[in-house]
Structure 1
Amino acid sequence: MMRLLSGECAVLSLSFLFALLFFIFHNNILLSVCNIFNFIAALLCCHAAIKLFRKEILARFLIFTLGMVLLFGLLYNLHQYGVLEAAMFGRNTFKLASSFEIITISFAIIYKIRKVRAENTHFKTEIKRYIQELETEKKKYNP
Structure 2
Amino acid sequence: MCRAFWVIRCLLPVSEGAVAQSLVVLPSERMALETVPKDLRHLRACLLCSLVKTIDQFEYDGCDNCDAYLQMKGNREMVYDCTSSSFDGIIAMMSPEDSWVSKWQRVSNFKPGVYAVSVTGRLPQGNTSHNDSQCSFIVPSSVEVLYVN
TM-score (norm 1): 0.27
Q: Which has the higher strand share?
A: 2
Q: Which has the higher helix share?
A: 1
- Give the number of the structure whose alpha-carbon radius of gyration is greater: 1
TM-score (norm 2): 0.26
